[in-house]
Amino acid sequence: MSDSSQRQALQFDREEMREFGYQVIDSLVDYYESRAEKPVAEKLDLDALDGILTEPLPHEPSHWRAVLEQFERQVVDTSNRVDHPRFFAYIPLANNFASVMADALAAGYNIFNAVWLQGPGAAQIERLTVDWLRQIFGFPAAAGGTFVSGGSVANLTALAVAREIQLRGDMREAVAYCSDQIHFAVSRGLRLLGFAPGQLRKIPSDENFRLPLEALRAAIAEDRAAGRRPFCVIASAGTTNTGAVDPLDALADLCLDENLWLHVDGAYGAPAVLTPQGAEALKGLERAHSLALDAHKWLFQPIECSVVLLRDRHWLPATFKERAEYLKDVEAEGEEINFMYQGIQLTRQFRALKLWMSFKVFGLDAISEAIAAGFANAELAERLLRAAGCWEIVTPAGMAIVTFRYTPANGDQTLADRVTQDLVERLRRDGDAFASGTQLRGKPVMRLCANNPRTTPADLEKTIQLMGRLAAELEVQLAGLPADNQQPAHH
Ligand SMILES: *Cc1c(COP(=O)(O)O)cnc(C)c1O
């Protein structure tokens, strides 16, 4: 830094700011251009990690260049590349450069987007972007919503509204329903809102991992007969495990009949409505009372960009509005939105900017095609897995996810379990591609989530060949060992 007065004010001079900024951009652009050739994660010796990033509180300055290099070496190179075209684990997070720049702008201009009077342009962009989403999801004109950090907070926010509006805040004997495939964010959200574990009924899912209507109806009737108060059904619009979509339209009918709130966890799958197959699978989504969606998953935003939509825009302030004397002069008079009353944050990031900017820069048609690529990729993966002859498809490609198990030549299911289970760790050690496992009906399965639009057919072929080779090696190793003498699985 040029001189001590600037340092005291935490400033750089003009030339240094530009140099620092350009260096950051060069670092990112180099990464984007070389990403596909790099491993999904660097092979790391876990012991060597012990010594890093354990330094004393820094009283003296370091040159920014050294700090940037340290970040690249010790953080970037030790992280899984979740946007890599051969990263298929969990939910891949493929962001886009327009939104990365928007995040830089939101931070650089430090736009405060909580109070309409302090930044009507920013509030208007958030309102407009929420309204675009409202149109995409077919919610009524009266609907509204807000940007939040992630799907967990979006679900929590929606459930807080359901508690306020549907239950008028009285949780006694209230019961919510979902399938056993629900994301843990939902159960945690309800627990944080003060519901006891028994107030969420997880109904065993059907053979397609969907919430079964008859069992749900029976559970509701049983609870009513026992004097309990059913209030909410929580449906998945694409589970994280298999991409299963609950029967949304039929659930909307049921909720109408039973006077229940319908909340849809669309954190992963909701953006699929922008494709023909997705729109078909998600029919009925437009009838939900509330919807949580992660724009950082299948809408290609940098991490921390999610939205909660409510059928009636007054429900959010009805839940979150408080009065503060020091904010009296900024209270809205008319329809202006003060986002501090739309959720649990006051000072908040301007997250809408990135979604707005990428919608405008790429256009919605390109985004829809990028989502459709995920469907096509998972379908190709399924075909390749079937053709390889050593995999059993557990759930076919749907919502860009396919799940499968290894099938040893002798058909031994215990061996199939062990190979499938150990394969994740083998892939992690290999590093050229990555997929993760899960359990379905108590059995280990592998899953590929192929929602990254930069994934090519060659990436899928390479990944499936690699998995086949590693699994065959594992089969040989494990077949030679008695079951109780196998290597412990690494997790
Ligand atoms: C990822 C996910 C969540 C949680 O969202 P975060 O953004 O990780 O907080 C909730 N539900 C489903 C179905 C998800 O896939």
Write out pLDDT tens, residues 67-107.
999 999 989 988 889 999 999 999 999 999 999 999 999 99
Atom of ligand 1 nearest to the CA of 182: 13
- One-letter amino acid at 463 equals T
Q: From CA 272, how far away is CA 250, in angstroms rounded?
A: 19
Give, in degrees to the nearest 5, the angle at Cα 183 between 177 and 189: 70
Q: Does the pLDDT value for residue 56 go beyond 70?
A: yes
As a whole number, mean pLDDT of residues 280-291 equals 98
Q: From CA 303, how far away is CA 149, in angstroms rounded?
A: 8
CA of 183 to the centre of ligand 1 (A): 7
CA of 182 to the centre of ligand 1 (A): 10
Atom of ligand 1 nearest to the CA of 150: 7
Residue nearest to atom 5 of ligand 1 (CA): 151
Question: Please, which pLDDT band fits residue 46 given cuts at 50, 70 and 90?
Answer: low
CA of 151 to the centre of ligand 1 (A): 4
Q: Does the pLDDT value for residue 484 go beyond 80?
A: no
Question: What percent of the chain stands above pLDDT 70?
Answer: 94
Q: From CA 148, how far away is CA 13, in angstroms rounded?
A: 35
Q: Does the pLDDT value for residue 115 go beyond 50?
A: yes
Q: Does the pLDDT value for residue 490 go beyond 60?
A: no
β-strand 200-203 against 443-449: which pairing, if any? Answer: unpaired
Q: Note the pLDDT of residue 35.
A: 93
Q: Note the pLDDT of residue 491.
A: 40
Q: From CA 208, how far away is CA 395, in angstroms rounded?
A: 8
Residue nearest to atom 12 of ligand 1 (CA): 267
Mutate to test the pocket of ligand 1, among 211, 242, 268 (most ligand atoms within 8 A of CB): 268
Is 167 in contact with 194 (CB distance < 8 Å)? Answer: no
CA of 186 to the centre of ligand 1 (A): 9
Lowest mean per-residue pLDDT among 205-214, 251-260, 332-341, 482-491: 482-491
Mutate to test the pocket of ligand 1, among 148, 149, 152 (most ligand atoms within 8 A of CB): 152
CA of 269 to the centre of ligand 1 (A): 10
Q: Note the pLDDT of residue 78.
A: 85
Question: Please, which pLDDT band fits residue 333 given cuts at 50, 70 and 90?
Answer: low
As a whole number, mean pLDDT of residues 475-484 equals 77
Atom of ligand 1 nearest to the CA of 152: 9
CA of 61 to the centre of ligand 1 (A): 39
Beta-carbon contacts of 359 under 8 Å, excluding residues fewer than 6 positions away, are: 129, 132, 367
Q: From CA 237, how far away is CA 248, in angstroms rounded?
A: 8
CA of 268 to the centre of ligand 1 (A): 6
Average pLDDT, the chain: 94
CA of 262 to the centre of ligand 1 (A): 18
- Torsions phi, psi for 397 (to 5 deg): -55, 125
Instruction: Classify residue 328 as exposed, middle or buried by CB count within 10 Å of its CB (0-12, 13-18, 19+).
Output: exposed
Per-residue pLDDT tens over the stretch 126-172? 999 999 999 999 999 999 999 999 999 999 999 999 999 999 999 99
Residue 53 gets the label, from left (phi > 0), alpha (psi -120 to 50) or beta, of left
Is 93 in contact with 83 (CB distance < 8 Å)? Answer: yes
310 forms beta bridges with 144, 290
Per-residue pLDDT tens over the stretch 213-260? 999 999 999 999 999 999 999 999 999 999 999 999 999 999 999 999
Q: From CA 344, how far away is CA 303, in angstroms rounded?
A: 19
As a whole number, mean pLDDT of residues 365-385 equals 98
As a whole number, mean pLDDT of residues 325-344 equals 78
Q: From CA 440, how far away is CA 442, in angstroms rounded?
A: 5
Is 264 in contact with 290 (CB distance < 8 Å)? Answer: yes
Q: From CA 124, how far away is CA 343, in angstroms rounded?
A: 17
Atom of ligand 1 nearest to the CA of 306: 7
Pocket of ligand 1 (CB under 6 A): 91, 150-152, 183, 185, 236, 239-240, 265, 267-268, 294, 306
Q: Does the pLDDT value for residue 278 go beyond 70?
A: yes
Q: From CA 47, how far away is CA 30, in angstroms rounded?
A: 28
CA of 152 to the centre of ligand 1 (A): 6
Q: From CA 462, how far away is CA 450, in angstroms rounded?
A: 14
- Torsions phi, psi for 413 (to 5 deg): -70, -30
Per-residue pLDDT tens over the stretch 169-212? 999 999 999 999 999 999 999 999 999 999 999 999 999 999 99
Mutate to test the pocket of ligand 1, among 179, 183, 234, 264 (most ligand atoms within 8 A of CB): 183
